[in-house]
Amino acid sequence: MRSIAVVGAGQAGVVLSAALVRAGWRVTLCSDLSADDYLETPGRPTACLFGDQVAYEAELGLDFWPEAPRAHRIHLDLHEDGGSVLFSVDAPLRGPALAVDQRLKFAFGLRELARRGVRVVTGAVSVGDLDSLAASHDLVVVTVGHKAFHGLFARDDARSTHTSAQRQLFMVNVHGYDLDAYPEHRDIVFSFVPGTVEVFWVPFWDKDAGQSRSIVVEAVPGGRADRFREVASAAEGLELLRSLVGEFFPVRSGFLAGVAPTSAWLKGAVVPVVRDPVAVLPSGRHVLGMGDAVVLNDPLAGQGANNATRMARFFAERLDAYDGTAQWLRARFDEWWETGRYTNAFSDGMLAPLTSYQRAVLLAASRDPVIGERVWEGFNDPASLFPWFFDATAAWDYLGTRGVGRWDVLRLKAAVARKVLARKVFRRPAPA
């Protein structure tokens, strides 16, 4: 029986361990936190899984929350700077999306894996410990980027785009809303002011509150929405969020009127990076990196947990052929990168300003949900967006297959412009 040590009990670590123990591997899972410890930690990222990744977790027997809300649609509002909605896209997802509190997921995952025969070891792991694990296992996989491992996996400059954070982040989970009054929030809602801020409203299963909504703010650094850096509590952050939504997305203000925060909130920033997937230890032995340890994206495109799941699945389906060499591992990572690179391209594309042809696609999607459904499929499978959503010629060719030409888009743009002009002309003056 072949043996593997997996370091980190996050998304990649739990999924990889579940897949390999099912395949007959002897698995050791090293976690810095116990299951009980995970339940006591502060909030963790929203980590919404889409379609195929939701199904794969269920296939592995890791879906412990059938009562958790599934999202079946995405509703996007593109706002002008004054707060009014320019246009909306509302379309179905091809497979349901699911966001479960990672404190629950990882705690339940650890307990379930132990029940299945995985050896769970709790405690900090150093680089020296990695060497010991590498000596006693056929393979070691590192799925976390702990400070103890800083610099372990070298930055891959050829595959990395950014050297600084592209957004300032804030997240808070809330309950106490009225879904009958705001039915679109039964599913996922996106609220964008291009070049300033994006807000994501995601159906969520919270450790303490159960059904809730996770609200994620992505603010352009230094911009007018970058106001959460000094937040010290969920309550303080929620008040700032109410102020921001009232200013930029007033149509959503009512949804927040009666809500209260759960215990889950966080703030910060992410520097996207791709790293060398194989690290050589002082002894000359090697370890494989996986998930955020080697591919870290800004959460704007919602790809962190999805990418970790795809990578774990890819390697789990191939590791039986592992020949013990670093060259084999690098070759498999390069093979994975052939499609995995689209996740990075999608995430980078979401961070960049919308191009004219991307606006044309979204405008057409506001009238044709089939187009919208194809856009939303990118969250499940980023490769499905290429080249048609990131190449002008391919975009117009696709719109042509839906019976949308340049004149049609111009008419849609003119309708939006007339709506904006009407609001300006007929807007009531502020009272003296």
Phi, psi of 319 (to 5 degrees): -65, -15
- Strand pairing partners for 30? 7, 121
Report pTM.
0.94
CATH 3.20.20.140 is held by the domain 73-98+166-269: no
For the chain, what is the mean pLDDT?
95
Ranges of H-type helices in 42-136:
51-59, 102-115, 127-136
Q: Give the whole-angstrom CA distance, residue 279 versus residue 413.
A: 51
pLDDT for position 430: 46
**388-400 tens-digit pLDDT:** 999 999 999 999 9
Cβ atoms of residues 273 and 125 within 8 Å: no
**302-328 tens-digit pLDDT:** 999 999 999 999 999 999 999 999 999
**219-276 tens-digit pLDDT:** 999 999 999 999 999 999 999 999 999 999 999 999 999 999 999 999 999 999 999 9
Q: Give the whole-angstrom CA distance, residue 219 versus residue 229.
A: 11
Q: Give the whole-angstrom CA distance, residue 347 versus residue 355.
A: 15
Tokens of 2: 């072949």
Mean pLDDT of 376-392: 98
User: Which has more confidence, 43 or 310?
Assistant: 310
Q: Is the pLDDT of residue 431 over 60?
A: no
Beta-sheet strands, E only, within 236-369? 260-269, 273-274, 278-280, 286-289, 295-296
Give the N- to C-terminal CA distance of the chain in Å, as an integer: 80
Q: Give domain limits for the chain.
A: 3-65+100-162+272-348, 73-98+166-269, 356-426
pLDDT for position 427: 52
Phi, psi of 238 (to 5 degrees): -65, -40
Identify the CATH class of 3-65+100-162+272-348.
alpha beta
Percent of the chain with pLDDT over 90: 93
pLDDT for position 42: 87
Cβ atoms of residues 365 and 371 within 8 Å: yes
Q: Is the pLDDT of residue 291 over 90?
A: yes
Q: Which residue do the tokens 């936190």 mark? A: 33
One fold for both 3-65+100-162+272-348 and 73-98+166-269? no
Beta-sheet strands, E only, within 183-235? 188-193, 197-206, 210-219
Other beta carbons within 10 Å of 213: 29
pLDDT for position 423: 61
Burial of 164 (0-12, 13-18, 19+ CB in 10 A): exposed
**150-194 tens-digit pLDDT:** 899 999 999 999 999 999 999 999 999 999 999 999 999 999 999
Question: pLDDT tier at 424 (50, 70, 90 boundaries)?
Answer: low
Q: Is the pLDDT of residue 382 over 70?
A: yes
Nearest C-alpha neighbor of 225 from the set 199, 260, 255, 264: 199
Mean pLDDT of 92-119: 98
Q: Give the whole-angstrom CA distance, residue 419 versus residue 426.
A: 11
Q: Is the pLDDT of residue 204 over 60?
A: yes
Cβ atoms of residues 215 and 176 within 8 Å: no
Nearest C-alpha neighbor of 266 from the set 303, 223, 215: 215
Range from 274-283, 350-359, 411-420 carrying the lowest mean pLDDT: 411-420
Question: pLDDT tier at 419 (50, 70, 90 boundaries)?
Answer: confident
Q: Helix (H, G, I), strand (E, B), or coil: what is residue 56? A: helix
**325-360 tens-digit pLDDT:** 999 999 999 999 999 999 999 999 999 999 999 999
Phi, psi of 120 (to 5 degrees): -95, 125
Q: Give the whole-angstrom CA distance, residue 391 versus residue 386.
A: 8
Tokens of 114: 């132990």
Other beta carbons within 10 Å of 14: 30
Q: Helix (H, G, I), strand (E, B), or coil: what is residue 44? A: coil
Q: Give the whole-angstrom CA distance, residue 160 versus residue 145.
A: 16
